[in-house]
């Protein structure tokens, strides 16, 4: 039984499509970066997190879990009374089931290889619904955990919570990964039954082309499954690895594919300071050039912004991509020491991040490169609307 099944057991007998309370229907669940459930209300959607008790604020609790709601940094405002009521309703259900589920999780851990940092795991489902309105898409993660291990990555805190849920020992971010060895098999069944929408190989949880992909090729197997499907599934991948070029021909054969690289700076010394295990900036740009020459649609994501010439970055991106997503630093996580370096200290401030973002938007716009703020490139949205 995988984590998704355990989360459903926490909510039992509630299932997707059922009402938690009148007017609040369970739309779906996610175990990508913790335990999350999406509730559909007349006024929109609400995201509820179920996490192990620990430090931090919550709206309701059980003996073992904290329940909270998310307004996505103010982008999805939720009435506090409604959020509290929904969290209490979730807590009531979780409280009934938590002892049984905790026992199942403990058994799952006992059956696993205790010291394994690279685990081969099997999943019962793969695609997870994400996005809002016209930006509805599926997330797909061939791996959970990431050996590239960027220290400012905001996945490390929720992934640490997932390890606590699984009763696994604490491990530094970047030192562990779960390989979802049956992902392509599960995906094949899901593509046969679900209605097509964009699929995003989600780098929040892991990089689809991190080093273990060279050995296990789970990402490639999933792409081959998408290529063999009898319907078109627009596909998007984002990576910090040059391994993506191994699959250039396969990606070019897909009728609707977008590939992007995360490029926070044009200065490779800065990259080496913050992302020592990722591909160099020249390697990432070369990968995008190779893919673009093969006919693959390419984009870049600049998040966070790190020191380096904005004009040089804009020039380089304009050569290899048609659009760019820009966002600012969303917490330092384990990178506080990296930002303490006097060369980079100013870049940790919100004022610096916002100013640099505005400067990059202007520079890219002047070069005819589209800038987008959401989850999906504008060309992809246009192709699927």
**CA-to-CA distance for 157 and 116, rounded, in angstroms?**
20
Tokens of 216: 């296990």
pLDDT band at 74 (very low <50, low <70, confident <90, very high): very low
Tokens of 255: 């009728």
Of the candidates 84, 111, 138, which is a domain's last residue? 111
pLDDT 10s digits, 296-340? 999 999 999 999 999 999 999 999 999 999 999 988 988 999 999
pLDDT band at 30 (very low <50, low <70, confident <90, very high): confident
Please, are residues 353 and 384 in contact by the beta-carbon 8 Å criterion?
no
The three-point CA angle 333-55-328 to 5° equals 30
pTM over 0.75: yes
Look over the chain and give the mean of its residue pLDDT values, rounded to a whole number. Answer: 89
Q: Indicate if 148 and 46 belong to the same structural domain.
A: no
301 secondary structure, DSSP code: E
- For 219, the domain range is 118-384
Count of structural domains within the chain: 2
Q: Indicate if 258 and 289 belong to the same structural domain.
A: yes
Q: What is the pLDDT of residue 42?
A: 84
Q: Indicate if 296 and 346 belong to the same structural domain.
A: yes
Q: What is the pLDDT of residue 291?
A: 98
Residue 22 has pLDDT above 90, yes or no: yes
Q: Indicate if 130 and 104 belong to the same structural domain.
A: no
What separation in angstroms does the CA of 136 have from each of 29, 99, 102, 249? 15, 35, 33, 27
pLDDT band at 103 (very low <50, low <70, confident <90, very high): confident
């Amino acid at each position: 039984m995988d984590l998704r099944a355990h989360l459903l057991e926490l909510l039992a007998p509630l299932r997707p499509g059922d009402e938690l309370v009148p007017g609040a229907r369970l739309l779906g669940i996610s175990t990508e970066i913790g335990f999350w459930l999406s509730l559909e209300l007349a006024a929109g959607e609400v995201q509820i997190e179920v996490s192990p008790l620990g430090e931090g604020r919550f709206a309701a609790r059980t003996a073992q879990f904290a329940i909270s709601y998310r307004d996505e940094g103010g982008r999805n405002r939720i009435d506090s009374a409604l959020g509290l009521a929904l969290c209490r309703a979730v807590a009531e259900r979780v409280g009934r089931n938590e002892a049984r589920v905790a026992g199942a999780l403990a058994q799952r851990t006992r059956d696993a290889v205790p010291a394994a940092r690279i685990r081969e795991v099997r999943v019962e489902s793969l695609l997870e619904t994400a996005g809002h309105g016209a930006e509805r898409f599926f997330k797909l993660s061939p791996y959970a955990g990431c050996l590239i291990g960027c220290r400012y990555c905001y996945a490390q805190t929720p992934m640490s919570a997932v390890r606590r849920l699984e009763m696994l020992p604490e491990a530094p971010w970047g030192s562990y990964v779960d390989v979802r060895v049956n992902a392509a098999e599960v995906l094949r069944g899901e593509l046969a039954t679900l209605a097509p929408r964009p699929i995003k190989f989600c780098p929040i949880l892991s990089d689809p082309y991190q080093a273990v992909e060279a050995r296990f090729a789970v990402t490639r197997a999933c792409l081959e499954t998408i290529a063999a499907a009898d319907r078109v599934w627009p596909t998007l991948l984002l990576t910090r690895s040059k391994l993506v070029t191994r699959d250039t021909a396969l990606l070019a054969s897909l009728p609707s594919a977008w590939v992007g690289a995360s490029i926070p700076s044009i200065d490779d010394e800065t990259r080496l300071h913050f992302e020592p295990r990722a591909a160099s900036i020249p390697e990432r740009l070369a990968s995008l050039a190779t893919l673009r020459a093969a006919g693959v649609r390419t984009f870049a994501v600049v998040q966070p912004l790190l020191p380096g010439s904005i004009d040089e970055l804009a020039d380089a991106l304009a050569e290899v991509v048609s659009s760019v997503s820009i966002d600012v630093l969303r917490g330092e996580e384990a990178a506080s020491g990296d930002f303490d370096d006097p060369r980079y200290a100013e870049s940790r401030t919100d004022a610096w991040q916002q100013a640099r973002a505005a400067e990059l938007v202007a520079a890219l716009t002047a070069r005819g490169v589209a800038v987008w703020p959401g989850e999906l490139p504008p060309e992809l949205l246009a192709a699927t609307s």
